[in-house]
Structure 1
Amino acid sequence: MTVSDPVVESVVATISRSATEIRQGLIGRRGTVDEENPSGETQAEADIWADELLGDRLAAIDGVGQYASEERTEIVDCGADPSAAESYAVAVDPLDGSSNLKSNNTMGTIFGVYDAALPARGETLVAAGFVLYGPITTMVIATDETVTEYELSGGERTVVDRDVTLPAEPVVYGFGGRVPDWPVDFREYAREIESELKLRYGGALIGDVNQVLTYGGTFGYPALESRPEGKLRLQFEGNPIGYVVEQAGGRSSDGTQSLLAVDPDALHDRTPVHVGNDDLIERLEATLA
């Protein structure tokens, strides 16, 4: 599958070609640096390196008006007017799950292509997806037409599934945050789910979400007692992942509404994130209500 819009296809092609290089470049970059990202988290050397690599390449694409990253405080003006026709903003989490570098576990790259100036509602996304650096490097791309999974090798994309949809019968779940920090209503919901589904939680959002796409089920990083706004970033994680799951036939929620309907106040806004099969998200919202 080729994305019909040439600018969006250039973004997707650039990320897919860069993925093999990013994966190889993780070697020797497993340490942290004495810096924090705008969310106050310690940065890995690989976070900064992957951000610079993707930022340079994506900003050079004609038709990309803005580049924003979880690793940067400010939006990068790429020259094109982000409000003009055929001009897009690209938001990236260059290395989701980089804390897994030390233990050599799964991580990925998340991206969203917005047809609006950032920060923007998820409803303005025209494409979103992720690269998963697992045993095999794969890429999932969602557009308004379909969700497609590829294997990546040597900069080339090979189609694995042209129409990714959540299985009707859910199998797995994964919930982030410390259990004592969960609000009482979410604990009630979690107790129900854990009696029905198998736990799959690896500490990298993208790996846990891919389990849900593959087997059906739900992933959540809820509002916490210590952090009611949630942990994950709306522009870089919540919106792109919500878009992928909704386009694959599932639902997303911040606990009350679709993630794609949330109005952002700032680039690095956090949000609770819940995605999965329709009935599981409906039950979540009913319990939290």
Structure 2
Amino acid sequence: MGAPGTTKFQIDLRRHLRERKVERRLREVICEIAEASKYIINSIRTGDLGVAGTSNLYGEEQLALDVLSDRILQKRLKNSGVVSNVVSEENNEIINFECTNKVCYSVAYDPLDGSSLVDVNLAVGTIISIYEGDNILQCGRNQAAAMYILYGPRTTLVYSTGDGVHEFGMNQLMEYTLVKENVTIDKVGGIYSPGGQRNLYTSGTEAFVRSLEEKGHKLRYSGGFVPDINQILMKGRGIFMYPHLQGRPDGKLRLLYELNPMAFLIEQAGGAASTGSKPILDIDPEGIDDCSPVFIGCREDVALAESFIAQE
């Protein structure tokens, strides 16, 4: 590898944030989350994979790793002094902190998305949404930053503060160093990741999927939201969907913890994210448990999905 590549890999996360002129306290929030991920990685590698014995507000059985990851993140953000409140997929209320700074942030997160995949050794991740101020119930377009951390064969961190999408990899010293700046995706993709039971698809979604298959799109679905979105971003093509279903018009994925941060990242990379009729980032949340259908990825693929759904 030549000298330019060597220099690139020596840029760590904190330096990159500083050089991008990210607001100082926002840098602190992002770096606290990066530090917390190191403890989550260790928990995944060594922790108890059994059930914690409690349920989250959606009635899903919590794994011990869900609970532990939530506590790790919550503690780091509380002690940062720059976070006024947090809301986690694993809790049923917004948790307020004492923020001693003039500029404070609110954070919504899914501490361990896809945690049920850990015991079969598949990739999982942490998803983060950050807003300036103390109001977490804002439309996703107001996000100050969004990020995810993928715990796979490699541990990678992907973030955006509204100035492009940037990927970092964890090195042997457990430091995040720059892998790729300004990640972008094409207008049209060649892969699709379809969530939900296909026999429950509405007519428009079914017609859309058939059109993708007829064009030769390959099905690539891991069962984890973070690895599937990461695949689209890093391959630069594709579409993920968890649509409205018969009997489940709002889909499954949560707006605050999953859809808003991923939609922000995908849009920053040149893609699109839609409910099937409007941009995900334009939804005004009514509560912390809101869900929405989603079609997210290459712009033209998302637009095609909308056109089929409009004909239902």
TM-score band by shorter chain is over 0.9
Q: 2:250 matched to which residue of 1?
A: 229
Is 1:43 paired with 2:62? Answer: yes
- State the alpha-carbon separation in 2 of the partners of residues 188 and 229 from structure 1: 19
Larger-gyration structure (1/2): 2
Indicate conservation of the 8 Å contact 2:166/2:180, yes or no: yes
Q: 1:220 matched to which residue of 2?
A: 241
The one-letter amino acid paired with 2:148 is F
The one-letter amino acid paired with 2:308 is T
Q: CA deviation at 1:53?
A: 0.5
- State the alpha-carbon separation in 1 of the partners of residues 304 and 253 from structure 2: 21
Farther off after superposition, 106-115 or 165-174 = 165-174
Q: Which runs of 5+ in 1 are unaligned?
A: none
Higher strand proportion (structure 1 or 2): 1
Using structure 2 for the length normalisation, give the TM-score.
0.88
Is 1:87 paired with 2:104? Answer: yes
Q: 2:127 matched to which residue of 1?
A: 110
SS of residue paired to 1:55: helix
Report matched runs for 1:177-216 at 5 Å.
177-195=196-214, 196-215=216-235, 216=237
Give the CA RMSD over aligned residues: 1.5
- State the alpha-carbon separation in 1 of the partners of residues 81 and 220 from structure 2: 40
SS of residue paired to 1:73: coil
Indicate conservation of the 8 Å contact 1:141/1:148, yes or no: yes
Q: 2:9 matched to which residue of 1?
A: none
Indicate conservation of the 8 Å contact 1:174/1:199, yes or no: yes
Indicate conservation of the 8 Å contact 2:256/2:288, yes or no: yes
- State the alpha-carbon separation in 1 of the partners of residues 300 and 106 from structure 2: 33
Q: 1:274 matched to which residue of 2?
A: 295
- State the alpha-carbon separation in 2 of the partners of residues 198 and 221 from structure 1: 17
Using structure 1 for the length normalisation, give the TM-score.
0.95
- State the alpha-carbon separation in 1 of the partners of residues 55 and 209 from structure 2: 32
SS of residue paired to 1:264: coil
SS of residue paired to 1:72: coil
Higher helix proportion (structure 1 or 2): 2
Q: CA deviation at 1:171?
A: 2.5
Farther off after superposition, 155-164 or 3-12 = 3-12
Q: 1:264 matched to which residue of 2?
A: 285
For residue 42 of structure 2, the aligned residue among 24, 27, 47 is: 24
Q: CA deviation at 1:103?
A: 1.0
> Which ranges of 4 or more aligned residues in structure 1 deviate by more than 3 Å?
none
Q: CA deviation at 1:18?
A: 2.0
- State the alpha-carbon separation in 2 of the partners of residues 209 and 175 from structure 1: 12
Percentage of pairs with the same residue:
34
Q: Which runs of 5+ in 2 are unaligned?
A: 1-15
Indicate conservation of the 8 Å contact 1:234/1:271, yes or no: yes
Farther off after superposition, 163-172 or 121-130 = 163-172
Q: CA deviation at 1:29?
A: 2.2
Indicate conservation of the 8 Å contact 1:18/1:155, yes or no: no
The one-letter amino acid paired with 1:239 is N
SS of residue paired to 1:150: strand
